[in-house]
Structure 1
C-alpha cells in the first residue's frame, strides 16, 4: 500500500501528543506491532528525504575571502598601500598590505569556526536506530528512518527522531540538552493537551535526547528538519551574528576618518592650485597628507590588544573563539545565565532530611561525600540513637540503582541524579554504598514508574529478617504508610498532615522532596522474593522521613553576581527548569538583591507567561524580569532579541542544543566547556573551561580592560595623524616647503605604532574598573572630552613642529636638518604623551611610572630607531634626514615637556569638573 502520509502530519505538530497512540498509528498508516514494510519505508524516504538536518547554504570560498576586505578601514589601508607604491616606498607598501592580509586571514578562520555550529547540530542525529520493519527487529542508520517507523529504545540509546511513544517500561529520558530540564523525565503513553510545552510532553521522545533508564517503543512522527531539533537548527541558521560594539564603533570611526582624509586632501590640492603652485607637486603634497592622516598601525593594534586580552582570559579559564568578543564583554549590560551547571553545581545534593521526630540539615555540595548532618543546635546525630533518620538514609541508599564513582579526585554518579544525591547523603552519615550492600543485600525490586511514583526493594537484614524499603513521591508513599517511626524506633500512627506540611515547606524553598519508608516483612510471601509485589505494601509501610534536595549554587556564584550588580550589569536567569526551583536558586545567589517580594512583582516569568504577553508589552516585561523558567528555545531567542531591542549588549550562557540559537544571536554567546554540547560550543563566542559563572565576571573585567587599552591607543595615535596632516596643509596654505616628507611620515606612523603604541596593549587594568557602570552601547568610540584632548595635542604638535622647523631654517640649518628636527619632535612628543595615555583620567605618577615594563622597552627601542634615522648615513639617504646637534635635541625635549604639562593640566581640570 502506498502511504498517504501528509507532510503536515508527519511533523512535531501538537496533534501527535494530543492524540491517543492508536490514533497516531492510524494517522501515519503504520502497524503498531510489525512496523512499516520495506517498500513503504523506501517510498517514504524518497518522499520525505533522509532523517538528517539540512546543510546550510553558505557563501562560496571566494565571496567569503572577499568579504574580509569589506570594511571602510580596510579600504583606507588599501588606499594607503597604493599611495606608498606610487611613491616608490615598496617596503612600506608591503607592510601595509601585509597587515590587511593578516587581518583577512584571521577573520576568515574565525568565520569558518563559527559556521561549525550547524555541523555540530547535524552530528547529533547521526547514529543508528533499532527499528521494526516487516515484523522483524533490525538496526538501521538513523538517516534511513521515516515517519511511521516503529522504533525501540533501551537505556543508553540516543533518540533518533521525534517519536510518539506507544509502549514504555520505566522509561526515563535525559532532555536537558533540548529543554534545560535538570533531571531525566519519566515517560508514559497518556494523551496530553495540545497546548502543553515541549518540556512537559511525557508521551514524546525527541531527536537528540538520551535514554537513561528503562525501555520503550514508539512511532516516528517527524524526521530531519521537521523535528524539534530541526526547528532549533533553523533558528541557529536564522539568528543574526551581530556586529560587536567594537566593530560597530570602528566601522563608524573608519567612515568618518575616510571622509575626513579625502576632504582634507582635496582641500590641500585645491588650495595649492589656487595659489598657482605646480599641480604635480601639489598632488604629491596631498598624497603626503593622506599618508600622514591614515593610522596604519590601528588594525594591528586592535588585533594584538584583543589577542593579549584573549591570553589573559584564557589564564582565567575563559577561552575566546572570536577576537572582538573580548571587547564585547567589557560593554555587556545584561548577562542571561543558564541555571544548571553555571550558577549551580549541576550535581543534585540533599540539603535537608526531615523525620517525624526531628529535622537535620546537610552540609557539603555536589557528589563528593564530604559534609555532615546536624540538628537545629548544630549537633551531629548519632545514628544508633536516631532510628528514623538511620532507616531514611538506608532506604535512600539501598532502594537505589545509581552508583557513586571517583576518578582522579573527581566524584560523579552513574544513573539518576536524584538517586545519586541520596547515596551521597547516606555516605556523609557513614553509610557508604558498600556498607549498605553488606547490611542489606537486595533480594527483589519493584522499579519506579510514573504510574506508581515510587520504587520498592526487598532486602535481607541479618538482625530483623526481611525488610521492605520504599522511596518516592511524598503523597504516594504516604498512601502506603499507616505508621511513622520516631528516634527510638517506636512505631506510631502516621501524622499525614505534619508530613505534608513539612514537604510543602521544603518544596516552597525550591527543593525536590522524596519520602522514604520501611517495614519488616511479615509473612512467607514477603520473605520469598518471588511473592514480593505491590499488593503487599499498601497501608503497612512505616514513614521514616523526607529527603529534600536541590542542585546547589556554586560557591563563587553569589560573589560574582554581586560584583556584576556593582558594575551595573543586570543578571537574569533563563532556564528550562521549574519556576519554584529557579526562584529558590535565584534568591540564594542574590539575583533579586534585597527584593523579597520578587515573585509577586513579576520578576519571575514562565514560558506560559511569556507566551501570553502582548507583543508591545514583551520587551519591557523582559527587561523588568529577573528569572525566566520553563522557556522554550524559541523563547530564549526571543528574550535575547527583546533585550537587544531595549538597547542592551547581551551576554548569553548555555550548554545545551536548545541554547544554540540564543547563543548565536547574543552580543556574546558563552558556552560551558565541561558540560556543554558541541553545538553550544560551536555557536558561542566564548567557552568557560570550568563552567563557573564567576569566570564570566572575571572575563567582563578583562573585557573592560581591553576596551580601555584600545581607547588609550586611539587617543594616543590620532593626534600624530591629525598633526601630520595639518602640518602638510599649513605648508600648502603658506606656500612653504613641506616640514616632513611622505617617507618620514611613514617612518613615524609605522615605527611608533609598533614600538610605542602597542605597549599600551600590555597596560594593567586600572583600579576600580568593576565599580563603574557599563558603557552606553550608543556612546561613540571617543567621547567629547577625548576628542578635545586629541585636538589639543594635535595643535601642540603642529605648532611645535612648525615653529621648530622655521627656527632651524632661520638659524642657518639646511632643509634636511630642519625636517629631521620636526620628525624627531613628533616622535619625542608622542613618547611623552604615551605615558600620559596610560590613564585617560589620572596622572602617570598616580598609576606608577614603571608598572608597565613593556612601555620602557618600547621607548628604548624607539629611541634607538630615532638615533639610527638621524645619524646613520644609509638611513639619511633613504629618508632624507641629517644629523642634529645637541642644542636641537634640547629644544625638542623642552617642547615635549611643555606639551606633557599642558595635557596634565587639562586632565586635572577635567577631573575636577567631573
Structure 2
C-alpha cells in the first residue's frame, strides 16, 4: 500500500479509523487479525538442530565418518576412535561459532521494542508497542522511537533520524502533505516514518499503518532470515572432497580387483583397500583448517577486525568487489561546516554584534544540552553550532543577552525557519533556509552580487554540500500577528554556510590500495545522487567516463537482464532501499564475483548477511548490522579493510600450503601402497603408521604453516579466481610428482633394508616417510622463495613443531613400550643416518624446482 500517496482523510478511511483512535474492543479484534507488532524468526524453532546438522553435513566429514565405520569393522577400533574424535572436536568448534553468530533477528527485536502513547477509547494511554495495530493513533515527541510504520496526521517542527534505515545522514523534516509519486524511496516519503527510527526534535501525531513483519523493518528481518552464503573455501573444500572421494574409490576398487585377480586373499585385499582409503583421506584437514582460521581471526583482532564467522577469514582473499555504504563507513556520519561565505556589508549590526553571521549560526537552531552537558539535536544544526563555538560564539551565553521570544517553524513550502530575539535595539529576526528562497525576500538589488551568490551555492551543491543561507531584519516591536509574510519580508542577506558529511581519514588511500589489489569498490548509499557522486569522485571510486551512477528509482526500472549487463560498470548507487542493496549484491555474485559488503545501518543488514562477506562497523554500527555481518571493524575505519584483506590473503595462502603439505604426504603414502605389490615388496605401512603420519606428522607442522609470513607484494596480486579449484596454480602437479618421489624414496629404503638390514625395513620406511614430509614442509614455507632466503628462524613455531615431531618419532623408534604399539624396532646409527639422508632428497628436490621456476627466471628478467 502506498500510504504516502493518500491524504490523512483517505488513510483514515482505508484503516477504518479516525483521529480519536480505536476502542479497546476494536484494537483487540485487530490484534487477533494482524498479530503482535513484533518481528518473527521463522527459523528459530529449528535453529539449534540446523546449526548442529550443518557441522556433519559437509561432504568431507561424511566421507570421514564412512571411513571410520568401515575401518572399525574391518581392522582396529583405535582408527575409528581417533577419526571420530577429530570429527566431533571440529563439529563442537563450528557449532559454538555459528550459534553465537545467530543473533541478527534478536537484535532487530531488541531495537524495535519500546512503549507507545496511543489513543484508546478517546484517552491517551501508554502501552507496549507490541500491542499496536493498524488504525491506532499515536503521539510522538523528541526522543521517541517510532514503534511502527506510521503516516503523519500533524507535525510541529518534527524531525526524524532515519540514517540506520535509509543511510541518509541528515535528519528528515516530516509533514502531512500527500505525495503523488508511487516508487518513492523510503527516505523521500516525508509524510511517513518507519519502525525502529527515532524522533530528534518536534512533536506530532500519526496513524499506525503497518505493524510487525509488514513494516519496513519486518521486510529486512525476512531478508536476514535467508540462508548463509557458502564461502570460497567451503566451495573449494566441498569440490575437493568429492573429487578426492571419487579418486580414492577408483584406486581402492582397482587395487582390490587386481589383487583378487592375482589370487590374493579377499580379506587381505579388503584390509589393503581400507588402509589405502585411510592413507588418502586427510583426517586432520577439517579440524586443522578450523584451527588455522581461528588463529587468523585472533591475529585480525590486533588489526581492529573482529571475525564472527571463521570461514570469512579466508574469503577476503577471494573478494573482487567491495560494496560499501557511504554514511558512517566512507564518511564520519557527522555534518561539518566546510565553508562560510559572509556579505561583509551586512555582518556588522551596531549595538548588537560585529559578526551577525556567526551569531545567527549560534542562535537560529533548536539544539540543547542534555543532562551530561553535551549538545544534542539535529545533525545540521549541531554542525552550525559547533562551528560558531569554534569562533567563540556560545549559544548559551548569547541566549541570556538575546532571548528567543518567538519563532516560525520550518516548512517545505517556504524552505526556511525564523527565530525572533529581544535586543536593546528592537526585535531581531534571524531567518535560516534555502538560499534561493531567502534571496527572493531579501533587499539585495545588485544582480551581479546575486548571480555570484547563486553560482557559489550551485557549485557547492554539485560538490555534494548542503548549503543554508542566513538573513535578518530588525523590527521596532513584536508584531501582534507573527506571520511568514510579514516577518520574512525585506530581509538583509548575511551569507551562507556549506556543510558536508566529510570522508574518513585514510579512506582515499584505502580505496586506491583496493584497486591496486584488483578489488573494485562500489558505493551503495541512501543519500541523493548528487551528494553520492561528489563523494565518490573525491575518494577515487569514480575515475573514468564509463563508471556509472544510478539511483534507486532508475534501478527499479531495469529488468534483471538489463541490470546484469550494467552491474559491473556501476560504481555508485544512490537513494536505494534495503532490497535493492541485496539485489546489487546478488547480481554481482551471479556474474561469478565474490562480494564484500560493508555497512553500519539496519538497512545494510540483508546485504551484509547475503554477501560472501559482510563487514559491519563496530563503533557506529547498529547491533543488527553487527549480528548480520561476518566480521566487524572495531575502529570503524574503512582502511582497516585493506589490512584485513592482506591478512585474509595470507591466511588463504597458508591454508593452501597446508593442503599442499598434507595431500603431498598422503600422495606419498598412496604411491607406497599402490606400487609396493607391483615391485614385489610387502606393504611398507601399517594402518597405525598411516594415522600417526596423518595426525601428528601432518598436524603439528601443518598447523605451524598458519603462522607463515605473507608472500612479497601479496596486495599487488589479483584476487584468486572464483572458478579456480584448490589444485589450481600448479598445486595438483606438485602433489603428484613430489608424492611419487616420496613413495619411490620410501620403497627404495624398504628394498635396501630387506636386502641388507636387520629386519628393520618397516621402521625405516615409516621413518623415511615421516622425515621426508618434514623436509617437504620446510621447502613449501614459501611458494617462490628459497628457505635460505626467508630464513630458517623466521617462523619459530615451525621450528618448534618440527623439533617436537622429530622427538616423538625418535621415541617411537627407540622406546620399547612404543615399539610394541607401533610395531617398530630400534635403528642402528648407520640405518638412522641413511634414513635421514634419504629423507633430505625431498627437501632438495622441491628447493631445486622453486629455483628453476622462479628464482632463476627473476634473475634473468632483472
TM-score w.r.t. the length of structure 2 is 0.94
1:843 aligns with 2:786: yes
Q: Equivalences for 1:675-714 in 2 at 5 Å?
A: 675-714=620-659
Check whether the contact 1:657–1:679 (CA below 8 A) recurs between aligned residues: yes
1:423 aligns with 2:385: yes
Dislocated runs of 4+, deviation >6 Å? 382-385, 404-407
- What residue in structure 2 maps to residue 391 of structure 1? 356
Q: Equivalences for 1:572-591 in 2 at 5 Å?
A: 572-591=522-541
Check whether the contact 1:177–1:656 (CA below 8 A) recurs between aligned residues: yes
CA shift for structure 1 position 634: 1.3
CA shift for structure 1 position 476: 2.4
Judged with a 3 Å threshold, the aligned counterparts in structure 2 of structure 1 residues 403 and 886 are, in CA distance, closer, same or farther, namely: farther
The separation in 2 between residues aligned to 1:671 and 1:383, in whole angstroms, is: 48
SS at match of 2:118: strand
The separation in 1 between residues aligned to 2:785 and 2:697, in whole angstroms, is: 23
The separation in 2 between residues aligned to 1:95 and 1:741, in whole angstroms, is: 15
Query: Alignment partner for residue 522 of structure 1, among 463, 469, 475?
Result: 475
The separation in 2 between residues aligned to 1:796 and 1:259, in whole angstroms, is: 23
The separation in 2 between residues aligned to 1:334 and 1:83, in whole angstroms, is: 45
- What residue in structure 1 maps to residue 220 of structure 2? 232
CA shift for structure 1 position 405: 8.6
1:659 aligns with 2:604: yes
Q: Which moved more, 1:429-438 or 1:848-857?
A: 429-438
Q: Equivalences for 1:423-822 in 2 at 5 Å?
A: 423-437=385-399, 440-460=402-422, 466-483=427-444, 495-519=449-473, 521-525=474-478, 534-593=484-543, 595=544, 598=545, 601=546, 603-814=548-759, 817-822=760-765
CA shift for structure 1 position 119: 2.7
Q: Which moved more, 1:439-448 or 1:802-811?
A: 439-448
- What residue in structure 2 maps to residue 402 of structure 1? 367
Q: Equivalences for 1:184-203 in 2 at 5 Å?
A: 184-193=171-180, 194-203=182-191
Q: Which moved more, 1:316-325 or 1:497-506?
A: 497-506
The separation in 2 between residues aligned to 1:384 and 1:560, in whole angstroms, is: 48
- What residue in structure 2 maps to residue 366 of structure 1? none
CA shift for structure 1 position 152: 1.2
The separation in 2 between residues aligned to 1:93 and 1:384, in whole angstroms, is: 92
Number of residue pairs the alignment of both structures matches: 854
The separation in 2 between residues aligned to 1:517 and 1:49, in whole angstroms, is: 52
- Provide the aligned C-alpha RMSD in A: 2.6
- What residue in structure 2 maps to residue 825 of structure 1? 768
CA shift for structure 1 position 146: 1.5
CA shift for structure 1 position 413: 4.9
The separation in 1 between residues aligned to 2:353 and 2:560, in whole angstroms, is: 54
The separation in 2 between residues aligned to 1:639 and 1:388, in whole angstroms, is: 53
Judged with a 3 Å threshold, the aligned counterparts in structure 2 of structure 1 residues 299 and 134 are, in CA distance, closer, same or farther, namely: same
SS at match of 2:663: helix
- What residue in structure 1 maps to residue 301 of structure 2? 314
CA shift for structure 1 position 558: 0.6
The separation in 2 between residues aligned to 1:459 and 1:537, in whole angstroms, is: 12
- What residue in structure 1 maps to residue 22 of structure 2? 36
CA shift for structure 1 position 512: 0.4
Q: Deviations over 1:392-412 (max 9, x none)?
A: 2221112122257999xxx97
- What residue in structure 2 maps to residue 488 of structure 1? none
The separation in 2 between residues aligned to 1:353 and 1:392, in whole angstroms, is: 9
CA shift for structure 1 position 109: 2.8
The separation in 1 between residues aligned to 2:35 and 2:192, in whole angstroms, is: 22
Check whether the contact 2:429–2:475 (CA below 8 A) recurs between aligned residues: no
CA shift for structure 1 position 128: 1.6
- What residue in structure 2 maps to residue 327 of structure 1? 314
Q: Deviations over 1:706-748 (max 9, x none)?
A: 1000000111111111111221122233453221211112111
Judged with a 3 Å threshold, the aligned counterparts in structure 2 of structure 1 residues 320 and 812 are, in CA distance, closer, same or farther, namely: closer
- What residue in structure 1 maps to residue 209 of structure 2? 221
Check whether the contact 2:431–2:488 (CA below 8 A) recurs between aligned residues: no
Query: Alignment partner for residue 36 of structure 2, among 33, 36, 50?
Result: 50
- What residue in structure 1 maps to residue 105 of structure 2? 118
- What residue in structure 2 maps to residue 106 of structure 1? 93
- What residue in structure 1 maps to residue 12 of structure 2? 25
Query: Alignment partner for residue 256 of structure 2, among 269, 274, 282?
Result: 269
SS at match of 1:524: coil
Q: Which moved more, 1:826-835 or 1:799-808?
A: 826-835
- What residue in structure 2 maps to residue 5 of structure 1? none
Q: Deviations over 1:747-779 (max 9, x none)?
A: 111111232111101112222110111110001
CA shift for structure 1 position 890: 2.4
Check whether the contact 1:356–1:499 (CA below 8 A) recurs between aligned residues: no
The separation in 2 between residues aligned to 1:57 and 1:755, in whole angstroms, is: 39
The separation in 2 between residues aligned to 1:205 and 1:713, in whole angstroms, is: 53
Return 5+ residue gaps in structure 2 as ranges: none
- What residue in structure 2 maps to residue 3 of structure 1? none
The separation in 2 between residues aligned to 1:664 and 1:389, in whole angstroms, is: 55
The separation in 2 between residues aligned to 1:723 and 1:83, in whole angstroms, is: 23
The separation in 2 between residues aligned to 1:102 and 1:701, in whole angstroms, is: 29
The separation in 2 between residues aligned to 1:913 and 1:265, in whole angstroms, is: 41
- What residue in structure 1 maps to residue 159 of structure 2? 172
The separation in 2 between residues aligned to 1:861 and 1:804, in whole angstroms, is: 24
Judged with a 3 Å threshold, the aligned counterparts in structure 2 of structure 1 residues 413 and 723 are, in CA distance, closer, same or farther, namely: farther
The separation in 1 between residues aligned to 2:343 and 2:82, in whole angstroms, is: 80
Q: Equivalences for 1:48-197 in 2 at 5 Å?
A: 48-58=34-44, 59=46, 61-62=48-49, 64-83=51-70, 85-86=72-73, 89-193=76-180, 194-197=182-185
Check whether the contact 1:268–1:732 (CA below 8 A) recurs between aligned residues: no
CA shift for structure 1 position 98: 2.0
- What residue in structure 2 maps to residue 8 of structure 1? none
Q: Equivalences for 1:331-346 in 2 at 5 Å?
A: 331-346=318-333
CA shift for structure 1 position 581: 0.9
Q: Deviations over 1:226-281 (max 9, x none)?
A: 222222222222x3421000000000101111222222222222222122222222
SS at match of 1:220: strand
The separation in 2 between residues aligned to 1:358 and 1:294, in whole angstroms, is: 85
Q: Which moved more, 1:719-728 or 1:899-908?
A: 899-908
Check whether the contact 1:671–1:684 (CA below 8 A) recurs between aligned residues: yes
TM-score w.r.t. the length of structure 1 is 0.89
The separation in 1 between residues aligned to 2:218 and 2:547, in whole angstroms, is: 33
Return 5+ residue gaps in structure 1 as ranges: 1-12, 360-381, 485-491
CA shift for structure 1 position 451: 4.0
SS at match of 2:92: helix
Q: Deviations over 1:650-677 (max 9, x none)?
A: 0011222221111111101111111222
Check whether the contact 1:578–1:629 (CA below 8 A) recurs between aligned residues: yes
Check whether the contact 2:348–2:356 (CA below 8 A) recurs between aligned residues: no
Check whether the contact 1:789–1:903 (CA below 8 A) recurs between aligned residues: no
